[in-house]
A and B are shown apart, each in its own frame.
Chain A
Amino acid sequence: DTAVSQTPKYLVTQMGNDKSIKCEQNLGHDTMYWYKQDSKKFLKIMFSYNNKELIINETVPNRFSPKSPDKAHLNLHINSLELGDSAVYFCASSPRLAGGNEQYFGPGTRLTVT
């Protein structure tokens, strides 16, 4: 009965590889997000989708490509991984896009690029 789930929880890979992280929410929410938390624990938004439509795309390298096959899923594909991509990536969802809604976060995916 997990609300927001992510797979995998840990991902260790080498520079130059391509990897994907999957996210699913069973809350019936319209809006989903990807955040990156760096080694200093600073949490920064990367993307948001509302009903499968891209709404927010922060200044993220185009090696990062989100895909939302339906409003319950938001996946993140990363091409040509670099050392600086090492971080914890969190998926989140909220009932609607409006800022007055709380966000529900997944458990995170710790990505280590060697």
Chain B
Amino acid sequence: SQKIEQNSEALNIQEGKTATLTCNYTNYSPAYLQWYRQDPGRGPVFLLLIRENEKEKRKERLKVTFDTTLKQSLFHITASQPADSATYLCALVFGNEKLTFGTGTRLTIIP
């Protein structure tokens, strides 16, 4: 069965540095890959979507890459700020149109 792993359960990054989060999957590649942010006690919030035929997507300080050969997506936050501290979830969409979420990475930006 398909497995989705986000590399770290928790990641601490110094303010101003680039935070890089990893999402790895097994078996076949998804049609789409999405990234969400979740703050404690709240629902996930959509950040970015990348299609299987796209290599990279950017939105302000966020960048997502998608490598179907490595079966990996990287999520970058440049010039990180304490307000970026949250749990980040990757989610894959396969043929049946449902989102399958990864385990999440709890990111803490240290001032």
Chain A partners chain B: yes
Which stretch of B15-23, B60-68, B69-77, B93-101 is in the interface? B93-101
Which residues on B are within 8 Å of A, measured CB to CB? 30-32, 34, 41-46, 49, 51, 87, 89, 93-94, 96-101, 103-104
Q: A99 and B93: CB pair below 8 A?
A: yes
* Contact partner, B43, options A40, A44, A92, A97, Cβ 8 Å: A92
Q: With A99-B31, A99-B93, A102-B34 given, is the CB distance from A90 to B103 under 8 Å?
A: no
Please report whether the interface of chain A is mostly helix, strand, loop or mixed according to DSSP.
loop
* Contact partner, A43, options B30, B89, B93, Cβ 8 Å: B89
Q: A107 and B104: CB pair below 8 A?
A: no
* Residues in B whose Cβ lies below 8 Å from that of A45: 98-100
A-B contact pairs, 30 of them (CB 8 A): A40-B103, A41-B87, A42-B101, A42-B103, A43-B44, A43-B104, A44-B101, A45-B99, A48-B97, A48-B98, A55-B97, A56-B96, A58-B98, A97-B97, A99-B31, A99-B99, A100-B31, A100-B49, A100-B51, A102-B46, A102-B49, A103-B34, A103-B44, A103-B46, A103-B99, A105-B43, A105-B44, A105-B45, A108-B42, A108-B43
Apart from A43-B89, A45-B100, A108-B43: 15 A-B pairs, beta carbons within 8 A: A40-B103, A41-B87, A41-B104, A42-B101, A45-B99, A56-B97, A90-B43, A98-B97, A99-B97, A99-B98, A100-B93, A102-B49, A103-B44, A105-B44, A108-B42
Q: With A45-B99, A99-B93 given, is the CB distance from A106 to B43 under 8 Å?
A: yes
| Shortest Cβ distance from residue B62 to the other chain A in the assembled complex, whole angstroms | 14
Output the residue of A45, A56, A97, A102 with the most chain B CB within 10 A. Answer: A102
A104 adjacent to chain B (CB < 8 Å): yes
Q: B101 and A43: CB pair below 8 A?
A: yes
The chain A residue with its CB closest to the CB of B106 is A41
* Residues in A whose Cβ lies below 8 Å from that of B31: 99-100
Residues of chain A from 1 to 58 with CB closer than 8 A to chain B in the complex: 4, 40-45, 48, 55-56, 58
